[in-house]
Structure 1
Amino acid sequence: MTSLPVWGDGRRIRVGLLGGSFNPVHVGHLQLAQRALRLLRLDQVWLMVSPGNPLKPAEGMAPLAERLAGVAAKVDGRRIIATDIERYLGTRYTVDTLALLRLRFPNVEFVWLMGADGLADLPRWRRWRRIVSMVPFAVLPRPPYNPAALRGQAALALGRWRRPAREAPILADCAPCAWAFLPAPQIGISATELRATALERALAPQGDPAQKASGVRVIARKPPADTGTTRRTAPKKTAGTTGRKTTAGLAAVPGAARAPGTPRKKAAVAGPGKAVNREPAEISKLEKYLSVITESLADDKGEDIVVLDLTGRASFADRMVIATGIADRQISAMAAHLERKLGEAGLKRVLIEGANGSDWVLIDAGDIVVHLFKTEARAQYGLERMWGADLDVPPGGAPDAE
């Protein structure tokens, strides 16, 4: 069953195409479709439920009718449409589907939609260069794939055709090969994880009430296995915070961005080194200030808030908080509100770096360091990847691919 005319028509609209197995559909798919509608000024988004993904095993794949019904139950059917049109077209590969859609809907301005995992995996798709030469495409962030996607083969090969996110409203009017990486809330949920855990209630996460309300992920960290120790006496003596050019941490992550100019940011980008014997912070105060920080960021609509435990891994702090803001004004406001609220909570010495129009603002709150990023800067520097080894491997293994 499809709600679209299989043989096409003469409609003149702008349509986003989001293909996938949708096994099952989840909040990440729906958020991507809704965000694309608004940012790209589309008339419709077609969620094309694939009869069979050539890059995915048939084992564990729910029947097409079941997957299609699951998607149809989540969308309005008017602006976001669930369709199995590929079954009627008789196509298995995106390159073939696009060719037929362009032929049968000659007046529609199509934009291909994908998450960062799709961009990272694009070179595995059949005739991927032909695909990008047929329609413009938009990429939305999806942790933890963002750094790999923006430094991957496809992004580098298509670098000269990349458009800034502010041009998203005209992307559908652009010639093929044009693409943009768009800002969006970052949700790392995967269909593979939902199937493996049999917890579809992940769409409405359970757990600690404070975390559920604010959308904060708290990630515990164990001390590294390295038995060597160093002891911090002052921030200026830590590796990566002196005038020396320290590249060891960057070398550990191929393609890592060059360290920025300030000592605190250099230390963050350098990543963990040897085990650190650091005087522990008072837990009650640590938790008190963490609560103030995460609640303030959530109140200011900070996205994908992550708390990393740096115990035994960093000489400059015990906790790292990372959050994303959409615009300069939002990030500046987040930093200002954070400084004020921490002061009201009793922390009088708070240092802020990069608050005036920067895409990366750092707030040093003593035992806690906070990093506020724009979407692309967060993907570029990949601090979660630097400081959390298990974040390199997405839940469930390989990304959703063609």
Structure 2
Amino acid sequence: MDLKKNKIGILGGSFDPAHKGHLAISKEAVKRFKLKKVIWAITKKNPFKKKSSLNLNERIKTCKKILKKIKNIEVRFYEDKIKSNKTLNLINYFTKNKNNEIYFIMGADNLINFHKWYKWQTISKKCNIIVYDRYGYKKKSLNSKTYKSLNRDKLKFINFNKVNISSSQLRKI
């Protein structure tokens, strides 16, 4: 293991809205994988969802409020800088610096459809993928095309003391 590597976690999403589940898996990833930091890479629009209930600036503001006293987790918007909303392009942006080792963080619900993401197999070759279990998704995610086909050295499924909350639940409130 190269101790000089910048171990950076990326949790991508629309954060519509951000919640304590995002925070819990981010903190746990920092601790478990000895990450220097986790970046909440907020997207203008999730390609798999119809639309966000809050606009981008409101979502960024909510994230910053949640992260106010957290030093090693930050929210960033990269789409204007990288001219894309594709995860692969974000990973490529970070891996330009050969000193960065990237850990892409997602919930088990995202693993189920990960094989539909743009160049998903290339993403898995360029970074480590950390999948956190979510209520009701474990069996389906462990039986997914992605889980069955990816190298276990690059993909880690984490059984986690789950926070039973989701952005879609919060939007209904």
Structure 1 and Structure 2 fold alike (TM over 0.5):
yes
Helix, strand or coil for the counterpart of 1:18?
Answer: strand
Spell out structure 1 runs of 4+ moving beyond 3 A: none
The separation in 1 between residues aligned to 2:141 and 2:85, in whole angstroms, is 24
Residues 158-201 of structure 1 show CA distances to partners (whole Å, capped at 9, x for unaligned) of: 2xx214xxxxxxxxxxxxxx1111231122311111112x2xxx
Q: 1:108 pairs with 92, 100, 104, which one? A: 100
Q: Where do 5+ consecutive residues of structure 1 fail to align? A: 1-10, 164-177, 199-402
Q: 2:11 pairs with 18, 24, 48, which one? A: 18
Q: Which has the larger radius of gyration?
A: 1
* Contact 2:11–2:105 (Cα < 8 Å) also in 1: yes
Residues 265-319 of structure 1 show CA distances to partners (whole Å, capped at 9, x for unaligned) of: xxxxxxxxxxxxxxxxxxxxxxxxxxxxxxxxxxxxxxxxxxxxxxxxxxxxxxx
The separation in 1 between residues aligned to 2:53 and 2:94, in whole angstroms, is 25
Match status 1:162 vs 2:152: yes
* Contact 2:82–2:89 (Cα < 8 Å) also in 1: no
Match status 1:195 vs 2:166: no
Q: 1:151 pairs with 143, 146, 151, which one? A: 143
The separation in 2 between residues aligned to 1:186 and 1:115, in whole angstroms, is 10
Residue in 2 aligned with 1:93? 86
* Contact 1:48–1:83 (Cα < 8 Å) also in 2: yes
Q: Which amino acid aligns with 2:138?
A: N
Deviation at 1:143, TM superposition (A): 1.1
Residue in 2 aligned with 1:182? 158
Deviation at 1:101, TM superposition (A): 2.1
Residue in 1 aligned with 2:49? 56
**Greater RCO structure (CA 8 Å; 6+ sep):** 2
Deviation at 1:78, TM superposition (A): 2.6
* Contact 1:51–1:87 (Cα < 8 Å) also in 2: no
The separation in 2 between residues aligned to 1:54 and 1:115, in whole angstroms, is 16
The separation in 2 between residues aligned to 1:72 and 1:31, in whole angstroms, is 15
The separation in 2 between residues aligned to 1:97 and 1:141, in whole angstroms, is 24
Match status 1:128 vs 2:99: no
Deviation at 1:12, TM superposition (A): 4.6
Query: RMSD between aligned alpha carbons?
Result: 1.6
Deviation at 1:29, TM superposition (A): 0.6
- Aligned pair count reads 169
- Name the structure with the higher strand share: 2
Residue in 1 aligned with 2:64? 72
After TM superposition, the score normalised by the length of structure 1 is 0.40
Deviation at 1:77, TM superposition (A): 5.4
After TM superposition, the score normalised by the length of structure 2 is 0.91
Residue in 1 aligned with 2:33? 40
The separation in 1 between residues aligned to 2:62 and 2:83, in whole angstroms, is 22
Match status 1:118 vs 2:110: yes
Helix, strand or coil for the counterpart of 2:147?
Answer: helix
